[in-house]
């Protein structure tokens, strides 16, 4: 069962046509006790299928504990958007509705290796001395 | 921002799937942004404002 409609798939494919560098969608899931895991996994695999530049790596949260630790994942479903390196970009919970476009944008940015941020922001980021952990809470639309 | 700085990590968390976390950070309306556990922002902030606010709050912390 496809989670994306045909015209959505086409649009996403077009969006991904210009992707330059490979992106990995590293996903952590499990079979039981996780309401949206199966759907998230399907969505991730579907998105990855829309471009040769995107690959999906699916790990079992319970069995692949070391991997989960490596990515700092403590809750699932979790998707890490990884490019030439891990930038610390994570999506927790099913990225549906508005969050789906956020996911697509992350993929685009990671592939381009360009944050698209302003100079003021870049200067601010360069001035940071300590880690900054940003969590944005959203609801499915 | 996470892309540009090695010090920054960014999580998008679906609040209804993780109610304990939502409760921990007292998420009532979304989007709610929590930075380093203690700094909170409500609503969607344009990039310029987010950075300006972060600068102020980080300096105060």
pLDDT (tens place) for every residue of chain B, 61 residues total: 999 999 999 999 999 999 999 999 999 888 999 999 999 999 989 999 999 999 999 988 6
With CA atoms as reference, report the closest residue to A12 among A53, A49, A50: A50
The number of folded domains in chain A is 1
Residue A139 within a domain:
no
- Inter-chain contact B34–A135, Cβ cutoff 8 Å? yes
Q: What are phi and psi of B48, to 5 degrees?
A: -55, -45
User: Is the predicted ipTM greater than 0.95, yes or no?
Assistant: no
Structural domains counted in chain B: 1
A21 lies in some domain: yes
**Tens-place pLDDT, residues A4-40:** 888 889 999 999 998 999 999 999 999 888 989 999 9
Task: For residue A64, give every residue at least 6 positions away whose Cβ sits within 8 Å of its Cβ, in sequence order, or none.
Answer: A28
Q: How far is A50 from chain B (nearest CA, A)?
A: 23
d(CA B3, CA A56) in angstroms, rounded, equals: 19
pTM of the model: 0.93
Which residues of A fall within a CB distance of 8 Å from B42? none
A43-65 mean pLDDT: 96
B25 to chain A, any CB pair closer than 8 A? The answer is yes
Q: The domain spanning residue A77 has which CATH number?
A: 3.40.30.10
A138 falls within a domain:
no
| A86-122 confidence digits (pLDDT tens) | 999 999 999 988 889 999 999 999 999 999 999 999 9
Residue B52 sits in a domain whose CATH number is 3.40.30.10
Angle between helices A98-112 and A37-49 (to 10 degrees): 50
Q: The domain containing residue A60 runs over which residues?
A: 6-127
- Which residues on neighbouring strands pair with residue A90, listed in sequence order? A80, B11
Q: Which of B7, B12, B51 lies at the smallest CB-CB distance from A130?
A: B7
């Amino acid at each position: 069962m496809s989670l994306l409609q045909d015209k959505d798939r086409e649009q996403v494919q077009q969006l991904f046509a210009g992707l330059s560098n490979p992106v990995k969608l590293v996903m952590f899931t499990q079979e039981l006790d996780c309401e949206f895991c199966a759907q998230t996994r399907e969505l991730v695999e579907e998105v990855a299928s829309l471009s040769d530049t995107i690959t999906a790596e699916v790990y079992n949260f319970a069995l692949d504990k070391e991997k989960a630790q490596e990515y700092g994942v403590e809750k699932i479903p979790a998707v890490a958007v990884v490019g030439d390196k891990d930038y610390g970009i994570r999506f927790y919970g099913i990225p549906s509705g508005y969050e789906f476009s956020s996911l697509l944008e992350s993929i685009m940015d990671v592939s381009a290796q360009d944050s698209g941020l302003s100079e003021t922001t870049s200067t601010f980021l360069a001035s940071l001395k300590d880690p900054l952990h940003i969590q944005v809470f959203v609801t499915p639309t | 921002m996470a892309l540009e700085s090695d010090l920054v990590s960014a999580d998008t968390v679906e609040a209804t799937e993780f109610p304990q976390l939502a409760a921990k950070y007292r998420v009532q309306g979304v989007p709610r942004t929590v930075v380093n556990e203690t700094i909170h922002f409500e609503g969607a902030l344009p990039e310029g404002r987010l950075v300006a606010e972060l600068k102020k709050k980080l300096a105060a912390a």
